[in-house]
Structure 1
Amino acid sequence: MGDRSSFPWPAAGLALAAGIVMIVSGAGVALAFAVTLLWMGTLWMVGSPAPPPSAGVEQEAMSAERMGELFEFSDSPIIVTRRNRVAVANRAARKLLGPHIIEQDVRMALRQPEAISLIDRDTDGFAVIRGLARRQDIWRINRKTLEGGMAVIEFVNRTAEADTARAHTDFVANASHELRTPLASILGYVETLQDDADDLDPAMAKRFLGTIEREGRRLQDLVSDLMSLSRIEAEKDDLPSDPIDFTALVRRAALDAAGPERTARLAIETETDFTVCGDVQQLEQLVRNLVDNALKYGGEDTPVSIHLQPQGSKRVRLTVADQGEGIAPEHIPHLTRRFYRTDPGRSRASGGTGLGLAIVKHIVERHRGRLDIESTLGEGTRVAVLLPIENEAEDEA
């Protein structure tokens, strides 16, 4: 009801006077009374102040605004809904779902049966959905209901965890297979020697023993590489700080990898001396792996070039190039995966474990460097490693 002090009395008096004039003019008492009453009622309504806004609506708007300010710079996508419409979406949510989701029905924004089911239940809970942004991604959606029909929905990206779990499963399966193969060969030849020890031809026995030795060394190399990889991964966050004469290290490790029988195939070129901060054993292993791969898969009697040169003022570039058959483009992105081989039979025959480039990649990452692999079929492969020079390692981290 309106406030009596704010009622427009002068206008009411004018309405009453108009009613009297209508009666005098013969309009009839009933009609004049009705018009006067309607006029004064309208004046009463106009004179009444507008009702104050609902405290609940005002509180909801204020709560949504404050939550928006709180969540805006969160790394996790977060949206606030009011009666299932998106009232607030932080920066991460707008990047994930698009800026158009504001004021959109959240179910239309997500378009995932699991998420829609969670929202329709109108209770606290979570749902796991796939393909929200990309086909293979996995997200957990957490929903917390609030008063006034509001809710907070948080998106937690679980893709990396799933990828890691899958990678571990694949690694265990591949490692088991790689270990089982030489073990089966060793056990098979040993059993043959035991069963036919008296009747076995000495030349054949010698060949069997040679196979056992070869498979035993392959097994030893595989276990050694697995231990190296495990050690490097355990230290991946520990940035090496010991200054190393990288030029001398490259020469020493390259000659060690080649051995006396392959040294003549090496062509080592260095423009100057370089000092890096690093782990001596790991950098030597990196060079040995690259040089050994180039010598194994390069063309017979063709040179392997090792070039050390500056890359700008902050990095040194080590390039190892062979003149082999080259690698098809579709294989290159996968070369640093554990146990990945472009030619499994040839790799095993040459004594490869399938872990060499995986170890190189992890060593490079630990030293805050970069690994590039280029190859042309029929021409050869070139692997480049960029490492920060001493006193620049922290800047590159």
Structure 2
Amino acid sequence: MDTSSSPYIVLFDHRCLSKMTLTGLAVAFVFLGSAFASDPECTGSVAPNGQHGHCATVSSCPYSYYVSGLCPSYGFDIKCCYNCHLGGCQTDSNIGTGTGTGTDTGTGTDTGTGTATQTGTSPYAAVRATWLSRYDHATSQAETAATFATLQAKGINRVYLNVWASGQIYFNSPTFESLGIRGFVRDVLGWAVEEGLKRGIEIWAWFEYGLIATWGSSPTLSVFSNTVYQRGWVKGEAKGYWWMDADNTEVLDFVAGMMQDAFDNYPGLGGVQLDEHFGQPYQLGTDLVATMNDAASHILEKVSGKVSLAPVSPPQASLLNYNMDWARWATEDIGFHEYVPKIYRDLASTFDYDLIQIIGQVGKDKLIPGIRCIGSGANTPYDVLSDMMSRCEAEGLGHSVWYSKCFTLLYPDHVHGGAQ
């Protein structure tokens, strides 16, 4: 059906909402029904949950339980979802069902009855996340289940799980194996995704080491670092680590390949995450901003799923210390799904000041502030931590706390929310 001349149908784009607010425009429209659809490559496949696949958007696939590349008729953004039996799947995330009128009142929601409005609330306002360090990895699925049961009880609905560090991987990666060396430790990501799906906790694979080959006095200390050093991938030493070259396409393809392996091999994975270790420290050169701009674009072009970035803050510190101009990346929307800046502060007042400055620079749409609970120095008192979380929530933002032991050991009697 050609909708271009129909007087009853408007294809609604959320990006137009702010303009509608300025003009006070009210639009009457009819939403088109959009059921999920299928390609045989997808419908002929069966996931471990026993369900056949259906082609659907990432955002409409329940619990993000999908695989890439099985819906060629629909383009790269449509995935093969294995949870469509739970409802919600569709092939066009901008078209819903129902009939009604759309009035732009500046409150920010898009309802199924056809009322579309906009507010200053982030799309990720409900995120209650934490990082899970490799030093706290479980050694069995039973341990993983126990950890996730505790996190669920504390209100956690997302975990950034470390899967890449010190030349070792905690998931299955053909890209890494192509180096011809051993780096696989155990499949912690597989356990986490399975347990997360059971408990409504979204798992994101955190590639902590990014472009770091190894730590220490020599670039050949580990099997991995020696291998990539011999290939000419290592740029130099900074901050106690040896860094791979962000201007080397082979390096970027290697990192992107591992990230894509995570999506391809783990249906249900929510996304992948990089942090400041994807950067190039100033000790390697203060003129590498353009190199990092190109490196970020290269990764985003190669990886099909959601990519998160957890940079240092404020943005100027990231730019000066790691040549990462993430404020520009955010304002120009180069493709990162979200930004989780590490606003690691000891005082709630300092956190509040920096949060407001960051909101002023990059807005709220893709912002999930990172909060310090445990780190070098004294732990953050719970009343201070609670104030920081409450401040995020007052701004309509979700938050992520460093790190999981904050809730499993340090403050086991509190949940991941505002003041208790």
Instruction: Give TM-score, length-normalised by structure 2.
Output: 0.22
Instruction: Give TM-score, length-normalised by structure 1.
Output: 0.22
Q: Which has the higher helix share?
A: 1
